[in-house]
Amino acid sequence: MTSLSRARVARRIAAGAAYGGGGIGLLGAATVGVVLAEVQLAKRQVGNGHSPHPPSADGLYGYVYAGSEEPLRLTMLGDSTAAGQGVHRARQTPGALLASGLAAVAERPVRLRNVALPGAQSDDLDRQVAVVLGEPEGVPDVCVIMVGANDVTHRMLATRSVRHLSAAVRRLRTAGAEVVVGTCPDLGTIEPVQQPLRWLARRASRQLAAAQTIGTVEQGGRTVSLGDLLGPEFAANPRELFGPDNYHPSAEGYATAAMAVLPTVCATLGLWPAEEERPDVSRREGFLPVARAAAEAASEAGTEVTAAMPTGPRAPWALLKRRRRHRVPATDPSPTTTREPSA
């Protein structure tokens, strides 16, 4: 499928989400029987993973900076990827990695709260946002949402999926929080998954990721494409589960995802170098109609999309960026910059 075709599909899904349309499924009904058979085969090949309950990483990071300023508040929402399912230690979860990295960049403590639920689909974001906005500490400075894999494997209508995500972003932005969405990963990269499920999973994942980007950007959030970032980690760690209920990267997989998301989290808070906020032609960055930017981002992991010019021939427009990544430690955080809470 070409970039223009993906853009048209993503725009159609996003429009259906905004105006109450339906009928656009992530997997066609005619393929459901084949897909379910392939899912069961993939589950037997990949195994059932481990650590059904992700370690709790809530707490204060950047402890060395405590007392200098009030902590920044980072909240994670979404599914098992956001929760950190599949790793043994709190410091290996994406929330802990992002909090540690944000504290180091900001030179300021960061308080992490994670309300993500393993196995959640996008319709659980309504509940999660209510929990976040009901916290006595107030609205977080920035929220990171990772969701979508379970929507694909459960064959949720793409329009419904995007509608729930867009509503969550809108509520959080209206309350005053910055929002970064890590879009649906490319489930077709998982090696034990055979054809035709691999092709179908890749197509559905990328369609959803592009539509998620449109819905998020139109509500004032930013997205980072996770795409096939996690594919090599699944190939190297075949014990991790791919199936209808779970999505478990390895510790290195989470570090890879956090490394891609961290620059955008910092940029939303004004903490990234100003020169990097301008589009760099040498990295193929620039302004595009949002549907085109969304389609390109879905095909290239680590790509950021944020709202730009509000008008144009095919408004709205967006800025597509390929930020330079800074390594996020996947092992013990440095004692000079972070202090890990007890799990």
Cite the active site residues.
80, 245, 248
CA-to-CA distance for 231 and 228, rounded, in angstroms?
5
**At which residue do the structure tokens 């007392």 appear?**
67
- Candidates 302, 307, 122, 145; CA nearest to 225 is 302
Distances in Å between the alpha carbon of 191 and those of 86, 238, 255? 18, 8, 20
Burial of 325 (0-12, 13-18, 19+ CB in 10 A): middle
- Candidates 159, 150, 141; CA nearest to 270 is 141
CA-to-CA distance for 223 and 279, rounded, in angstroms?
16
Helices (H), 134-278: 149-153, 158-175, 197-218, 231-236, 251-268
Quick count: other Cβ atoms within 10 Å of Cβ 26?
26
Query: What are the structure tokens assigned to 166, written together?
Result: 């867009």
Task: Please enumerate in sequence order all residues whose Cβ is within 8 A of that of 29, keeping only pairs 6 or more positions apart, or say none.
Answer: none
